[in-house]
Structure 1
């Protein structure tokens, strides 16, 4: 499979990349390429121009910024998974990133690329949502921040404009929170049929705060707010978690496909929420 012919641009700065987007109407951004390259090779999309972000060093890395950590959009999944700042202050992201595809994809794929792709079955959207991430977007008018609640618009659609680039993601620190990402697949390294990410802060034997996110239970990542509300202020016991997890599918509209119908996914959400929260409490 060979892509259709296209022009190739490799800017070395964010400003150059934004300018290239403005100059080329039919252009696609190339980050890690784990989603775009297969599409190009199968000719499901044939842009006139591909803008490769791989030479923009400022888009890589993880840094401490006071009450948040900042992850560059071109930072690989492997680096996010292993970075000490992520493991200390956003453990849920480290655990979710460890479940992305296979070692090759985690090495080449990028944190920002996966989030901008906005596949509802992607492993990173729900953790970013529950951690209250902010997405920094650069365009002709400068930079702006978009809250996670507003970033995921619909299936494969985000708040990033056609002339904008996702440059970094700011994640508020959740230091000392337990976390777990529970994913159900039919075969290893597959997109999740359903997954649940949970991060919990306890005070003694009581759940002080809880955040639970759902993957592939709708056209965008979702918060399981009924579960969260049922957990906060309660003892960190198996019975409490089981009763709260029973509400995991409340208000959701999961898809139906060859991997399972909507009712099956609702059942999975309940089971996986119970497992994820119990593991997070234990963590």
Structure 2
């Protein structure tokens, strides 16, 4: 409506022009105020939206940093444990338990914070690696006893032709080694029957101390179900292979997760 329209209205209605003009000015002012308010509300909503997006990106950045730190800490602890389990057979028996505790506790300590923030996709390989670490912890000391004895017995084999060797110590070392590597394949009756012979051959090999013989025979008496894992082999070591496989799966999943997080945070 323009001034000409206002004039037409004034001519038709017995209302003073001043009143009509005042009413129009008031209405225009209200419309301007409404427009200003609407603009302000839209700007505020936009600001909140931007702030929310910034907050989410900041959280993603924080979470990514914390996850990377926790993942690295857990992996360092796992690697230290794996290295220690491999070394235990070469360490004095009296030091093994303490050293193992010094490596298993950091794994559990590092797992706690990681479990709280780990994404769902990384949780299964994280739990599996922790389970393998606990499995290592359970078998590490027995493994050290058995593999230490096997290595000593191998060192006591005849350096020449074993088939024609008549040295009783060399022969005892070989027979004891064969007993231990195949111990899990024997029936309970067979193990009980050969126990004294195993003890004799271990001592007669002259490669183990009395304490080592006692520890080895005590382990043979228990003959844990995991015996094949404890023995391993010259080429393969199933116990350590499973731990290494779980580690590789964890690292692969962590790298994939980090790559996804980077793409999500990057501005597009």
Instruction: State TM-score, norm by structure 1.
Output: 0.22
Return the structure number with greater strand share: 1
Return the structure number with greater helix share: 2
- Which protein shows a greater Rg? 2
Higher relative CO (Cα under 8 Å, sequence separation at least 6) belongs to 2
Instruction: State TM-score, norm by structure 2.
Output: 0.23
